[in-house]
Amino acid sequence: MDCTYDGELVDRPSSLAFTGLPMTQLLLAGAALLLLGIILAIAARRRRRTRRRPGAMLSLVIITCAAGALLWADTSAHAAGGDCDTPTPAGETHALELSQTSVLSGLAPGVAPAPITGNVENTGTEPVVVTAVTVSITSVVKAADAVAGTCDDSDYLLVAPRMPVGKTLKAGETAEFSGAALGFTDKSTNQDACKGARVDLRYTAS
């Protein structure tokens, strides 16, 4: 299970791998199409109107159910903003919320990297295994009054970005993560364009 925390947004990649059902649904769709062909062949041989109606109704029901299963698998792979849900039986949810607790400021050449700490909380109803939390840089935004020049993620350095957690969180339980740090890369070129810049981080739980 992967969740990402991006400022105020938590999201996960759109993938049918989270449903656990793609192969079953493909078999179901194939069986439905095969059965539909048989029904249509039988119906074509029958001319009596009273015998055609049951076959047509059955075909409609099978097509609707197969399409509904495939659509459910696709849409269920998308997480809502603010959490990271995994498709589960009715009445059960798996959700993680990640937050940064450390304040990262004052980054500059020659300054030690600032430690990164945070919390991961299980806001669902079922236990969730959290192996680690990984941090990455998503963007760097220059200050409005910054001097001309380039300032991007190459001007910053993430130390030990993968932070082990190794816990099974019960519903409502929270665990801390730490060990990573964000520093400033001291280049040989002028880096004044990075003064006052904002670094956006993303946290991914796995």
For 96, list phi and psi in degrees, rounded to 5: -125, 140
Q: What is the pLDDT of residues 110-131, one digit of tens each?
A: 899 999 999 999 998 999 999 9
Alpha-carbon Rg for the chain in angstroms:
26
pLDDT confidence of residue 105 = 85
pLDDT at 134 over 60: yes
Q: Which comes out higher in pLDDT, residue 80 or 116?
A: 116
What single-letter amino acid sits at 137?
A: I
Domain range list for the chain:
3-12+82-205, 20-75
pLDDT confidence of residue 133 = 93
In this prediction, residue 107 has a pLDDT band, given cuts at 50, 70 and 90, of confident
pLDDT confidence of residue 78 = 21
SS3 60: helix
- Hey, what are 104's tokens? 């990262």
Q: Which of 64-73, 91-100, 104-113 has the lowest mean pLDDT?
A: 64-73
What is residue 86's DSSP assignment? Answer: B
Q: Which of 66-80, 147-161, 180-194 has the lowest mean pLDDT?
A: 66-80
Using alpha carbons, select from 149, 150, 153, 138 the residue that is nearest to residue 107. 153
pLDDT confidence of residue 45 = 63
Pure H helices in the chain: 22-45, 49-75
Q: What is the pLDDT of residues 18-66, one digit of tens each?
A: 323 344 444 455 555 556 566 655 655 665 554 444 333 332 332 222 2
- Helix (H) or strand (E) holding 204, with range, is strand 198-205
Residue where the block lists tokens 């001097």:
147
